[in-house]
Amino acid sequence: MNKPTVILLTCVVMVGAAIGAAVWLSGQGKEHPEAKDSRSEETESGEMTNEHTTNSIVFFEGEMPPADPLMVGRWANNENQGWHKVYYDDDDGEGHYWGKEWDETDDVQEEDLNYHGNGWFRWRKSNDTLYEYSTMDFRDVPIAHIYLVSAYDSMNIAVRETNGRSQYSFIKE
């Protein structure tokens, strides 16, 4: 095969893989009504007392709980003062709130971020777990980041990834 044919075939395969991944991910989080997480219990009225926990985005039914007021605001990383996160209390309509992050040491400024594109994430906090789903420009492929909260108050938060590899701490600005 000649070089242009190889390049064309490679592009076709990559586009097909991206479409397949987007279709597969779009079905994630929509569980069968009878599916139960092993940690969930059903009440007499048939409601689940604990939400399903997976790496997929969970879609809530009914009224969305308010954002944790201590989380809302602008935070700076303690080890890298150029790394910032902002947690907003505006919801995405699917059980999460919006946030954004950038690292000025990588020459990225807050104004460089495209609205709900790269640098933006969806978040929610449930007890001692913080869920963040990074978004790409097309918003079709969420990347899950699940953190266990080890310290938390109105001015400080410390988290570690559930895989135990990384720990981060932030201070409210």
Q: How far apart are CA 49 and CA 42, in angstroms?
A: 6
Q: Which of the pair, 32 or 159, is modelled with greater confidence?
A: 159
Structural domain containing residue 100: 73-172
| Residue 133 covered by a domain | yes
| Residue 80 covered by a domain | yes
- The continuous run of DSSP H or E covering 114 comes out as none
Report the share of the chain in percent with pLDDT over 90.
43
| Residue 9 covered by a domain | no
| Residue 3 covered by a domain | no
Query: Would the pLDDT of 17 be above 80?
Result: no
Q: How far apart are CA 121 and CA 69, in angstroms?
A: 18
Q: How far apart are CA 170 and CA 99, in angstroms?
A: 15
Average pLDDT rounded to a whole number, residues 77-94 = 91
Q: How many domains would you assign to the chain?
A: 1
Residue with tokens 């570690």: 160
CB count within 10 Å of CB 105 equals: 11
Query: Would the pLDDT of 48 be above 50?
Result: no
| Residue 110 covered by a domain | yes
| Residue 28 covered by a domain | no
| Residue 64 covered by a domain | no
| Residue 128 covered by a domain | yes
